[in-house]
């Protein structure tokens, strides 16, 4: 309701609907922006094994990521990742090589730390990302929701998105 020339008038339905659509779009953008610090290329190395993880910046309400593990020059696994909003919550959808896709819902988020959970998934049940410094990222994977010790931790350093190949 608005007051025009001393009279109370109802707001047009189209105006109310437009406001709701804009507010929803802004909420989605704000939620996905919680993960903007993941953007870029990351590399974890241990002996002859390298794991690369690359995240595109948020756009259109989603972030896309891809991961690849190479051991002794041969790919041993890959994963496609999508961060998006579903039912008002931030969701990490994982599509790992050789496995069924799984969704993990944000359970805790703070600047530089995101914890995603799926209590009904076999393994993992928790995936957690933490930005330690501007150039260091930790990924922790837990087998149980209440576990205090992760099943494994991947320590990534910021890397060139050009990789070892010349582009051009």
pLDDT in tens, the chain (168 residues): 555 466 655 544 433 333 333 334 334 445 899 999 999 999 999 999 999 999 999 999 999 999 999 999 999 999 999 999 999 999 999 999 999 999 999 999 999 999 999 999 999 999 999 999 999 999 999 999 999 999 999 999 999 998 665 555
Q: What angle do CA 32, 88, 68 make, to 5 degrees?
A: 45
In whole angstroms, give the CA distance from residue 80 to residue 152. 19
Using CA atoms of 81, 159, 161, 57 in order, give the dihedral in degrees to the nearest 10.
50
Side-chain half-sphere CA neighbours of 143 within 13 A: 3
Rounded distance between C-alpha atoms, residue 90 and residue 107, angstroms: 9
Q: What is the pTM of this model?
A: 0.79
Give tens-digit pLDDT for 91-123: 999 999 999 999 999 999 999 999 999 999 999
């Amino acid at each position: 309701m608005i007051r025009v020339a001393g009279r109370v008038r109802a707001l047009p339905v189209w105006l109310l609907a437009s406001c709701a659509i804009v507010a929803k779009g802004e909420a989605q953008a704000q939620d996905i922006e919680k993960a903007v610090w993941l953007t870029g290329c990351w590399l974890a190395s241990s002996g002859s094994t390298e794991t690369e993880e690359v995240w595109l910046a948020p756009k259109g309400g989603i972030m896309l990521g891809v991961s690849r593990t190479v051991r002794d020059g041969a790919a041993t696994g890959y994963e496609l990742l999508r961060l998006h909003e579903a039912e008002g919550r931030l969701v990490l959808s994982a599509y790992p090589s050789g496995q069924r896709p799984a969704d993990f819902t944000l359970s805790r988020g703070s600047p530089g730390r995101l914890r995603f959970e799926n209590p009904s998934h076999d393994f993992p049940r928790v995936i957690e990302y933490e930005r330690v410094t501007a150039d260091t990222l930790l990924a922790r994977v837990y087998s149980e929701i209440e576990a205090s010790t992760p099943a494994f931790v991947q320590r990534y350093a910021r890397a060139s998105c050009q990789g070892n190949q010349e582009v051009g």
